[in-house]
Structure formats: structure tokens, C-alpha cells
Structure 1
Amino acid sequence: MSGVGRYLLAGLLAFAVDFGLLFVLRDVLGWPTAWAAGVAFLVSFAFTYTIQRTLGFMSHAPHGRALVRYTILVAVNTVATAVIVSLIDQTAAGWAIGKVVATAATTVWNYFAYRWWVFAADRPTDSPSVREA
């Protein structure tokens, strides 16, 4: 399976977890849409990070660096998702279509962010490192 295929499969699994949580929080527990969308997205954080790191990108990037970068990306995605879902929920399309639209948008920019920034391998430096004796 190609890298894009693995990314999409991992994303589909992550979306199922996120969407299911959004449904439970909003439709079962009665939370406001913006809160439900934001919390569902954050709760799926660990699952999504792990599956994208291991299945989507098979990354060996240092966990600390990757996790900090992933956290920054999640913060951006959380705000974008909550705004998109809330705005579309105010139309006849409803929250579910809003979630699909938000997921489509974040899927596109996340692929590039994951590949070139979050899970990118260390780039070799041009000069050797200097070690103290």
C-alpha cells in the first residue's frame, strides 16, 4: 500500500473514532455542537497520533519533537474543526455535513504537515557535530 493509502486508511480509522465520539457527546449527551466537536477531536488525539505515526508514516522521528509538532497541529485543527462544524450546523446541512467538510479540509493540509514537518525524518547536517572531550 502506498504512503498516501496508509495515510488515508489511518485517517479513516481515526475519523470513525472522532465521529463516533462527536455523535455520542452531541446527540446522546446533548452537548452544544462546538463543544462536542472540539472535545471529540481532542479525545481522539492519542489514537490519531499513534496510528498515523505507526501505520500512516511508519515514522522514526523522535517522539518528543513529533509530539510537540503534532500538538501544535491539533490545536490548529481543533479550532478549525469547531468553527467549520458550528457554522455549517447553522445551515440546513447540519453538524454531520459540517464534520465531513472539516475532516476533508484538515485531511488535505495534515498530509503535508505530517509528511514534511510532524513525522519527517531528521535531515542530515552539512557539518559534523562538535563534541566536547
Structure 2
Amino acid sequence: MRLAYAHSVTRFLALAALGFGFDLTLLAVLDATTPLPPAATVTIAFWLTYALNFALNRTFAFHANGHGVRGQLARFAPQVLGDYVLTVVGVTALGALGLGLVPARIIAGGTNLVFNYVLYRWWTFRRRPEPPPAPAEEPALALAAADRTP
């Protein structure tokens, strides 16, 4: 179990399942209780889920909460926008083919899973290499410098 948790892909998949469950539940509730068209319910559920996913992935899947959130959000914006367009187009196209809203959303979400992991891992929450440590002063030079101070 520890080995499975050690890799970001395992944590990402667990959080993706949790987030997708939240997304589908919210989508089904909005579809059943509001007069909103499918594109609107998909949009609302999508954006609320992505806000949750960003926070959870940042903290738990990629351990990137010690890094600057502004840069992460700037890289996250085109990622989530691309995923949103793919999701709405996919759900709309599958709906036009007669598939229900929730099954269409499951298919659209499944096709974006790999896309999202790759972008989260190597784009949104990328880690910059640590700068090399500063060279240590030579002990003899440090002593000579200390002897010159009054």
C-alpha cells in the first residue's frame, strides 16, 4: 500500500476518482433540480470540481503546496480551459448521438484523464531544479580575511 501511495499517479487517480464522483453527483443533482440546459450544468459542475481538484492535487498528489501558487494557477488556466472545451464538445456530441448526460460526461472525462495527469505532473506542478549550493569558502582564505579585520 505504501508503494502505491508513493507515486503521484496513484494519488492522482484516487483524487480523480473522488473529484469525478463529486462532478457526476453535482451534475446529476443540477440536471434533476434545475431547468438549466446540459451545457450549463456541465459547466457549473466542471468548474466547481476543478477548483476542488486543483487544491487537492496541489496538496496531496503532487506535494506542490510549498511552491508559488500564482505560477501554478497561470499554468493551470490553459490546461483547465483546454479540458473544459474538450469536455463540453464531447458531452454535446455524445448527447447529440442520443447518449444521456451522465454517461456522456463519464466518457468525456475518461478521455481527458491521461491528458490531465501529464499536464499536472510536468506543467502545472512542475518542480524547478534546485540551484546548486554556493561554493564553500576555503578555510585558509576565511582565516586570512578574519586576520585583516581590526
Whole-angstrom CA distance in 2 between matches of 1:27 and 1:46: 23
Q: Which residue of 2 aligns with 1:25?
A: 30
Q: Which residue of 2 aligns with 1:16?
A: 21
Whole-angstrom CA distance in 2 between matches of 1:24 and 1:74: 23
Identical-pair percentage: 28
Count of matched residue positions in the alignment of Structure 1 and Structure 2: 127
Once superposed, which parts of structure 1, at least 4 consecutive aligned residues long, lie more than 6 Å away? none
1:125 Cα shift?
Answer: 6.5
Larger Rg: 2
Q: Does the Cα contact within 8 Å between 2:27 and 2:102 map onto a contact in 1?
A: no
Q: Which residue of 1 aligns with 2:81?
A: 75
* 1:65 and 2:71 aligned: yes
Aligned residue type for 2:81: A
Aligned residue type for 2:123: W
The C-alpha deviation readout for 1:62-86, integer Å capped at 9, x for no partner, is: 2110011112211111111111111
Structure 1: tracts of 5 or more residues without a match? 129-133
TM-score by length of 1: 0.86
Aligned residue type for 1:123: P
* 1:53 and 2:76 aligned: no
Structure 2: tracts of 5 or more residues without a match? 135-150
Whole-angstrom CA distance in 1 between matches of 2:128 and 2:90: 34
Q: Provide the alpha-carbon RMSD of the alignment.
A: 1.8
Of structures 1 and 2, the one with the larger relative CO (CA 8 A, separation 6+) is 1
